[in-house]
Amino acid sequence: MANEKQEEILKKEKIQYFEQDIRTMTKTELVKHFSFKGKKSVNPTLLIKNLIWQAYTWIKNGKMEPIEGNIRSFWYMNVKPVLSRMGFNTTGRKFTEKLYDVLVEIIVTHRLFRYMDMGFLDERQYQRSIGKANGSLILFVEKDGLFGLAKQMALQNDTTAIATGGFPSYLTLEYLLSDMARAGLLHEPVHVFSVVDYDPSGYWIEQKFIEQLHQYDIEIASQHSLITPDLMPVSLLDIAKYRLDKSSKTKNWLKLTNGLNGEPYGLESDAVGGKKIREAFEQAILPYLAKKQPGSGKAAMDKSRASYIAFLASPPAYLQR
C-alpha cells in the first residue's frame, strides 16, 4: 500500500507513532493520548488500535520480537496489562473480542499489514493441503475429524483442502491464501466445495467462509454445498437425522433450505459416510478439472488485485528488513 494512503487511514483512525512504549505510559499519559473526545476517560478501542500499530511497526523494524504465539498471546502480553491498569474489567470476552475485531479492521478492511507480519503463528498449518494443477478448487470442511478424508480426496484430485475447526478465522484464511498466492493459484477464480453439517450452524459456517474470501478480494466462480439429505437413502436418513431447537436461527434456516422435507431436522456431515462424500466431491469437480496451467489468468487481472496477491505471497515484514 502506498505510504500516502496508509497515512490517510492512520489519521482517520487516530493511530499515531509513539517513541515511548505505550505499555509504560502513566494513566495521565494514556488519558491524554487515547481519551474519548471531551472526556477524561480512555477509549479502549483507540488504545488497542495504537497498541497493535506500535507492535507491528516495532516488530517490522526489529525493535520488538515477533509474537510467536496466537492472538491471545498478544492480548496477555500487550493489551490486558494496560487495560487492567486503567481499571477496565479484563475478565470475560468483551475486550478480547474487541481485540479480534480491531485486528480484522486494521488487517482485512484497511490492509495496513497482515497477521503474519505480527508473528502470529499458524496453528492450523497441518489442517490444509495445497493442490497444483487443480489448486484453485478448494475443498472446505468444517470439522477437523473429516480433514483426513478431505486431504485424501484433495491429493487424489490435486485440489486444495482446508479444515477450519468450526467458524473460520481470518488468520487461518490468510495463511491459506498466502500459500495459494505463492503457488500462483489466485490469478484465476476459485471454486469452493463445502462439507459442513446440514443444519443452521453448518450453513452459517459455510456462508462465513465465503464472506471472508470476498473480503480478501478472492473471485469465487462457483460454490457447492456437498452435504445434502439426498445423499442418503430414506431408511438411513431416518436413523441419522436429529431434531433442531425452536430458535429463530432454526426457523430462518428452514426458510432457506426447507430442512428435511420442511421439518426442523439436521444431519451431521460425518453421518453421510466417506464413500458418499467422496462421490459427491468427485462429481462436483468434474466440470472444473484443469484445462489450463495455474496462473495462466495472470495477464488479465487488474493491477490492484495483482498487487494484493503479491502482497499475500510476500514473506512476513520482519523477515524483509
| pLDDT value, residue 304 | 82
For residue 208, the model assigns a pLDDT of 97
Rounded-to-integer distance, Cα 62 and Cα 166, Å:
35
* φ and ψ of 160, to 5 deg: -95, 145
| pLDDT at residue 294, as a whole number | 47
- Name every residue whose Cβ is closer than 8 Å to that of residue 130 and which is 6 or more positions away in sequence: 160, 179, 180, 183, 185
Backbone angles phi, psi at 17, to 5 degrees: -95, 130
Domains and CATH numbers, the chain: 3-121 (no CATH), 125-313 (3.40.1360)
| Rounded CA separation 68/176 (Å) | 18
Tell me the whole-structure pTM to 2 decimals.
0.92
**Residue carrying the nine cell digits 430414506:** 234
* Predicted local confidence at residue 36, as pLDDT: 84
pLDDT at 319: 86
| Bridge partners for 128 per DSSP | 162
How high is the pLDDT of residue 40?
83
Q: What is the 3-class SS of the chain, one letter each residue?
A: CCHHHHHHHHHHCCCCCCCCCHHHCCHHHHHHHHECCCCCCECHHHHHHHHHHHHHHHHHHCCCCCCCECHHHHHHHHHHHHHHHCCCCCCCCHHHHHHHHHHHHHHHHCCCCCHHHHCECCCCHHHEECCCCEEEEEEEECCHHHHHHHHHHHHHHCEEEEECCCCCCHHHHHHHHHHHHHCCCCCCCEEEEEECCECHHHHHHHHHHHHHHHHCCCCEEEEEECCCHHHCCHHHHHHHCEECCCCHHHHHHHHHHCCECCECEEECHHHHCHHHHHHHHHHHHHHHCCCCCCCCCHHHCCHHHHHHHHHHHCCCHHHCC
Q: Is there a contact between 131 and 293 (Cβ–Cβ < 8 Å)? A: no
The pLDDT of residue 139 is 98
pLDDT tens digit at each of 321 positions of the chain: 458 899 999 999 999 999 999 999 999 999 999 998 878 899 999 999 999 999 999 999 999 999 999 999 999 999 999 999 999 999 999 999 999 999 999 999 999 999 999 999 999 999 999 999 999 999 999 999 999 999 999 999 999 999 999 999 999 999 999 999 999 999 999 999 999 999 999 999 999 999 999 999 999 999 999 999 999 999 999 999 999 999 999 999 999 999 999 999 999 999 999 999 999 999 999 999 966 544 444 545 678 888 999 999 999 989 887
Of 240, 224, 125, nearest in space to 174 by CA:
125
Q: What distance in Å separates the CA atoms of residue 247 and residue 304, rounded to the nearest whole number?
A: 43
Provide the b/e sequence for 22-47 (b: ≥16 CB within 10 Å).
beebeeeebbebbeeeeeeebbbbbb
Residue bearing cell 466417506: 274
C-alpha cell of residue 212:
471472508
First to last CA, the chain: 17
